[in-house]
Amino acid sequence: MNGVANLMLAGDTDVGEIAFVDLKSQQRRIRARIEARLQAVLDHGRYIAGPEIEELEALLAEKTGAAGAVACASGTAALIIPLLAAGVDTGDAVFLPAFSYNATANAVLLTGATPVFVDIDPATFNMDPDDLERRIAEVKARGALRPAAVIPVDLFGSPADYRSISAIADRNNLFLLADGAQGFGGRLDGAWIGNLAPATATSFFPGKALGAYGDAGAILSQNLGTLEQWMSIRWHGTDSARKNSVCVGFNGRMDSFQAGVLLEKLAIFDEELEARTMIAEIYDRRLSNLASPQRHIEGAQSGYGYYSVRMDHRDDVAAALKAKGAPTAVYYSTPLHKMPAFEKFAPAEPLTATERLCEEIISLPMHPYLTPDQAHYVCDCIEAALASFRD
């Protein structure tokens, strides 16, 4: 039964069908412009490396303040390429939060390096700098691996603590790669995600705040000198003439159709970010006394790729909201170090904050086309569900 029917059946005020992520409304708004972009690709016939790619790269750099950008096939490719360019390899330790999507760990393993899982701050849900320092010290003490890189994740759009993590990376000579897959639009001290670390990987998976109509991603750099090598790696490691292999690479290219879609979505991104922020403010006001919304560090503004809170009775609340036509999702119910593919890299002691968060985290509907009435309705449903558990 769909959300509208659920609402009517329950006898509640009809706020319309609530989508967790609404791509249909966005497409209706810009469909004619997207179709014109796709038609242009069909007309020029450069389905790979069309002019849309360079146009997108220039706009991404301009938007974020980065020195330059390299469009690529996915957010995972955007993680692998800078790690390869930095020389990360077998025998290296790469530090990453245990609370993240599995692509972060997969990218490390695909370079031949070893992931070292770091606990998170229970309030921000992002990498805990203090635990990062402990993990680095442990790796150095054991001597089996060389500390090589650190990948903080801008979870749900909220910037990691780059002030502390950058200082730690500098002291330990670690390559700093930001995983901004969910982070586009987030800022710290006025600087955009994409210009908070030497290299930033982002994803344009369709459900992201800035999403394509298929897989796509980009790498943003603070140093123009890195771009040529990244471009080579994404094109099988060939030189600019595409004739000779100059390094190890793979097919990491973005196609011109996806770039065309992203160009039109970038044109409305600021308006959509403003709408996301308005919905987040409603959630913050209504839920701060009922649950624990993700906290952002001082000076940070989230891009609100997702809106997530931690709460008691998480699964029961999710079921109650589903019955009322309000969808939710759980990112993530299992920490990386407890997944079968990665459990051999788990630390000896529990990652307490991460493991507890996995039991309490829930994400609520978040997109620019969610109405204030719908956001309030979601909050009403949460309030009623939690009250019923207390009775």
Residue 227 pLDDT exceeds 50: yes
Residue 206 CA: distances (Å) to CA of 75, 122, 261: 11, 28, 10
Domain residue ranges in the chain: 3-24+269-390, 29-267
Separation between Cα atoms, residue 345 and residue 31, nearest integer Å: 46
Class for domain 3-24+269-390, per CATH? Answer: alpha beta
List 97's β-bridge partners, or say none.
118
Residue with tokens 């993680």: 79
Band of the pLDDT at 351, cuts 50, 70, 90? Answer: very high
CATH assignment of 29-267, among 3.60.110.10, 3.40.50.2300, 1.20.210.10, 3.40.640.10: 3.40.640.10
State the pairing for strand pair 187-188/191-192: antiparallel
Band of the pLDDT at 6, cuts 50, 70, 90? Answer: very low
Separation between Cα atoms, residue 235 and residue 7, nearest integer Å: 51
Q: Where are the beta strands (DSSP E) in the chain?
A: 68-72, 92-97, 114-118, 146-150, 175-179, 187-188, 191-192, 199-203, 217-221, 292-293, 300-301, 307-310, 361-364
Cα 247 from chain centre: 28
Residue 91 pLDDT exceeds 90: yes
263-276 residue pLDDT tens: 999 999 999 999 99
8-57 residue pLDDT tens: 333 345 899 999 999 999 999 999 999 999 999 999 999 999 999 999 99
Separation between Cα atoms, residue 198 and residue 73, nearest integer Å: 20
Band of the pLDDT at 389, cuts 50, 70, 90? Answer: confident
99-110 residue pLDDT tens: 999 999 999 999
130-185 residue pLDDT tens: 999 999 999 999 999 999 999 999 999 999 999 999 999 999 999 999 999 999 99
What confidence score (pLDDT) does residue 13 get? 54
Contact (Cβ atoms closer than 8 angstroms) between residue 334 and residue 358:
yes
What confidence score (pLDDT) does residue 14 get? 87
Band of the pLDDT at 390, cuts 50, 70, 90? Answer: confident
